[in-house]
Structure 1
Amino acid sequence: MTTALLHVSSDHLPLTATVPPRPRPATQPLTVTSHPAPPAATVLTVRGEVDMLTSTQLQDHLLPLVRDTVPHVIVDLTGVSFFGAAGLTVLVNACAVATAAGVTLRLVASTRPVLLPLTITGMDGVFDVSHDLVHALMRAGCGPDG
């Protein structure tokens, strides 16, 4: 039995297809603002993408609010275009802090990028989720009669 060796000339290197990497769209900046909703709530409005790079910004704004500042903290996520696992982690941690402080954490979510992760993980059953800010404010006693 003889073994055949293949000789490859360096003059004829095999062609390889190269595909340039697809540039990833820049992350939409995250903006987080808060304002009081008398008599008993603070609304935290979140806009942009909540991912592992921006979730600390959300955490830095949210955690001080849920430490016994007002009876209700409402996080308005209707302007969020992406909501990843890091964002869910921030909400779960904030919920634990809020519960310990006697503060109710409510979410406003009406878009697929936010509702889908909440639903898949079962967190929609843990959080008080409203589809609009007016409904969340009314549930917090900040509506026209409260």
Structure 2
Amino acid sequence: MTAVLPSVSFDRLPHAAAVLPGLQPGPEPLTVTAQPVPPGTVVLAVRGEVDLCTSPLLQDALLTHLRHASAPLVIDLTDVGFFAAAGLTVLVTARQAAVTAGVRLCVVANSRPVLLPLTITGMDRVLDIHPDLAHARLCRSG
């Protein structure tokens, strides 16, 4: 017996994938801002969504700072509303670069969208995670 598969046309996008007329793209989904914090710590404040499309921006910012850093680097993820597997990959890459450079790396995270993937994957036991910037000041020591 031979199975007959229905014919599929790729001339049109499926209805669900159609773009609604008049729909404008929103603001930049991810921003990364460097803030030097005395004495000598750099805080990279991340705002938006970290996913497959935006993670290269985050990775570039982190690796740029780690290449030229001698002071601790704090990654502030408190304003991140979505954190996908690509974000975990970026944090693993940043951690490896920080270890190689001899730079202390800390992460500030306090929301479910960020903490859940970190916990499920066990990254919460690998990274130095703090609930806020005040606690991340401990990043300078040790």
Q: Tell me the equivalent position of 2:62.
A: 62
Name the one with the larger helix percent: 2
For structure 1, list consecutive stretches of 5 or more residues without a partner in the other structure: 1-18, 142-146
**Counterpart check, 1:99 vs 2:99:** yes
In 2: Cα distance, 1:123 partner to 1:83 partner:
13
TM-score, with length taken from structure 2: 0.79
TM-align CA RMSD = 2.2
Count of aligned positions? 123
Of all paired residues, the percent bearing the same amino acid is 53
In 2: Cα distance, 1:23 partner to 1:110 partner:
36
For structure 2, list consecutive stretches of 5 or more residues without a partner in the other structure: 1-13, 20-24
In 1: Cα distance, 2:91 partner to 2:109 partner:
13
Q: Secondary structure at the match of 1:66?
A: helix
Q: Secondary structure at the match of 1:124?
A: helix
Counterpart amino acid of 2:35?
Answer: H
TM-score, with length taken from structure 1: 0.77
Q: Tell me the equivalent position of 2:7.
A: none
In 2: Cα distance, 1:138 partner to 1:101 partner:
19
Counterpart amino acid of 1:71?
Answer: A
User: Structure 2 matches for 1:25-36, cutoff 5 A?
Assistant: 29-36=29-36
